[in-house]
Amino acid sequence: MPALKLTPYKCRITWLGLVPEERPDIRSAPVDDVELTYAGVQGEMHSGLTRPACVRVKEQFARGTEIANTRQLSIVSAEELAEIAARMGLAVIDPAWLGASMVVEGVPDFSHLPPSARLQGPDGASLVIDMQNRPCLFPAREIDKDHPGRGPKFKAAAKGRRGVTAWVEREGRMAVGDALRLFIPDQRAWRPGK
């Protein structure tokens, strides 16, 4: 019996971006396609099989401890970006401001996909969802550069809408316009005390 079940949902890649390793900020540059390796996207700031532990895992590891890299990509939803923009009083949120790797459309409640869900491309390339990406101050700084005074509104507007982080389970290519199939773990939600 498969541990992952195919859902009826597909999403389409509407935007891809890379944050260069040598960079002055977190802005990503748009690209048409990416070659996914087990280390992520070569030359991208978030690539690597491992990464230094950061504030997100401070309850488990001292900052800088080498850990597996489950944050190779940052994936956001076009629908949720539109919600964030509306809450901030902006016409649009440019995914480059967020340092996004990928924008998809077509999956409702995208930022709340369960950990271990999979997105699989046409050639079999697969991404594993690690967890929801929390809003932080770095995108706020980028937004403020283009829209002075609006950046501080990002964190509250993006709560629960910031997308997910993911890592590469199977290498391959993904391109703007590709349809990705969504698989979710075949298990009930965790209920402590049961």
82: left (phi over 0), alpha (psi -120 to 50) or beta: alpha
- Residue indicated by tokens 């996914």: 36
Query: What's the sign of the alpha-carbon dihedral 167, 172, 176, 178?
Result: negative
Strands (E), the chain: 4-18, 29-31, 33-36, 50-52, 66-68, 73-77, 102-105, 118-120, 126-132, 164-170, 172-175, 179-185
pLDDT given for residue 161 in this prediction: 96
pLDDT tens digit string along 56-89? Answer: 888 999 999 999 999 999 999 999 999 999 999 9
Residue 105's alpha-carbon distances to 13, 131, 138, 167, 184, in angstroms, are 7, 18, 24, 19, 17
Q: State whether residue 46 is helix, strand or coil.
A: coil
pTM score, two decimals?
0.94
Residue 184, CA atoms < 13 Å, CB-side half-sphere: 13
pLDDT for residue 24: 85
Q: Per-residue confidence of the chain (194 residues) as pLDDT tens digits?
A: 789 999 999 999 999 999 998 888 899 999 999 999 999 998 899 999 999 998 888 899 999 999 999 999 999 999 999 999 999 999 999 999 999 999 999 999 999 999 999 999 999 999 999 999 988 889 999 999 999 999 999 999 999 999 999 999 999 999 999 999 999 999 988 889 87
Q: Which two tokens stand for residue 31?
A: 């690209």
Say which residue the tokens 């697969």 belong to: 126
- Name the DSSP letter for residue 8: E
Which pLDDT does position 144 carry in this prediction?
Answer: 94
* Cα separation of the two ends of the chain: 24
Return the sign of the alpha-carbon dihedral for residues 169, 170, 172, 173.
negative
